[in-house]
Structure 1
């Protein structure tokens, strides 16, 4: 499954396609430090769909522009919309994990008529207050500076040891090595730009938009990831058509920690 490329609004976006080219489209958006490779293990499970898996700006083989302006929510939503138009996607299901989930929410808010189903794993509509956003911008700025100063290997060692990913330490060594390899393959310029441009401190808050989401929304969380279980519960109470599934004994990366259960939830969510 080799990566493909498209020129979109002045940058090169890399993406992968799999599944049935005539099937219902399903777009999958990876998280921070990930890439389209995050999803290739599910190509057979979701093989009856036309799978579109972009590398987000600054990740994988997609360009990593200098500066943070090109990484903002508005820019990334516009890039995705232009890419989907090139690929002939008029209406599709959209799945996003963590950062990719936040971008999926932003896309659904801007183009609700294009989304038939929305599936969100371990994500948030943003921070509620300006004080929270300011604090997060400061911490993300410091982390971005660390990446630029110390490089991708030092950053990866630091990132994989944050409490959010504690449950990944129980995974088999080959799985942890695969996740680490994916993180190490990213461009430090792109990761720093992502932190400054699309971090939760800079993205809009979409909490007040959720009540307008008319499409079915499935929220997936791991029971060990208590912060995001609570966020998803709060989201479910605002969304008109929401289904929240919490996977026992899993943390933030349900699709890595329990891929079989994750695939089952997604396939159930995609049923007409």
Structure 2
């Protein structure tokens, strides 16, 4: 679907009289990111999945500024409008979680309940943001040099060695995950990282105290960084509920989709 500066690739499944969930994937993912979780939820929910700018088959038709979080958020709202979806649930992971939190705080009337998996409100200070912009630029340069698949495979191996991913490399489906990541367009990924990375995102910390939308914060037991961040979110935002998921790290829905879905069902039911 073409909307102003975007040509979105998406999948909409309407299960008559069932509430709808919008899913937003993380960096290097696509609209199939939550396939296992969706399969477990599909009998009781309708769902909309979208390739975010720089990922999958979605195309940005305008300048590079349209990879940024603010115009992307507005485009997601426009997409909901096109489908006449006035209000829905929202589930999002990592980069998609940052976008989801932006959506929640800027368009609260559009979301019933929101699940944020391994997400953050961005960086609180200008100094932190500038430092992160530099770091993301370094990663982007590595990505842009990884034009051949063997280089990209090496990049992915290094990426998933980060402490936040815990023991994900031992997961029996890890090679399948790498296969999916290798399908990305490196030029598009680089633009996403550069313009929608954490350093370029406006800080949302100050707005958390005013949030009125119920939040479920999910963090993996083995992801110390995001356990700390989400504990801080829960301390500021009294309407947020934090769950630490055992035997997982940053990518909870991949490592343990059953436990991921169980927490979602309980949250949506209450």
TM-score range, shorter chain: over 0.9
Corresponding pairs, count: 265
Deviation for aligned residue 1:190: 1.5
Determine the structure 2 residue equivalent to 1:250.
Answer: 248
Deviation for aligned residue 1:19: 5.8
What aligned pairs does 1:72-83 form with structure 2 within 5 A after superposition?
Answer: 72-83=68-79
Is 1:41 aligned to 2:39, yes or no? Answer: no
- CA deviation vs aligned residue, 1:109-145 (integer Å, no higher than 9, x gap): 2101111101100010010111110110001011112
Deviation for aligned residue 1:191: 0.9
User: Residues 140 and 165 from structure 1, CA distance in 2 versus in 1: closer, same or farther, beyond 3 angstroms?
Assistant: same
- CA deviation vs aligned residue, 1:155-212 (integer Å, no higher than 9, x gap): 323322323223201211xx11221112111111121111111111000000111111
1:104 to 91, 94, 100: 100
C-alpha contact (below 8 Å) 2:37/2:258 kept by paired residues: no
Deviation for aligned residue 1:65: 5.8
Q: 1:233, 1:226 → 2: CA distance?
A: 11
Determine the structure 1 residue equivalent to 2:66.
Answer: 70
Q: 1:233, 1:124 → 2: CA distance?
A: 11
Q: 1:208, 1:97 → 2: CA distance?
A: 21
Is 1:32 aligned to 2:32, yes or no? Answer: no
Q: Which moved more, 1:142-151 or 1:246-255?
A: 142-151
Determine the structure 2 residue equivalent to 1:3.
Answer: none
What aligned pairs does 1:2-41 form with structure 2 within 5 A after superposition?
Answer: 6-18=1-13, 20-41=15-36
Determine the structure 1 residue equivalent to 2:84.
Answer: 88
What aligned pairs does 1:1-272 form with structure 2 within 5 A after superposition?
Answer: 6-18=1-13, 20-47=15-42, 48-63=44-59, 68-151=64-147, 152-172=152-172, 175-272=173-270
Q: Report the TM-score when normalising by structure 1.
A: 0.93
- CA deviation vs aligned residue, 1:22-48 (integer Å, no higher than 9, x gap): 311111110000011111222332111
Provide structure 1 residue ranges, at least 5 long, that are not aligned to the other structure: 1-5
- CA deviation vs aligned residue, 1:223-270 (integer Å, no higher than 9, x gap): 100110111111011113111110112100111111110010011111
Q: Report the TM-score when normalising by structure 2.
A: 0.93
RMSD over aligned CA atoms reads: 1.6
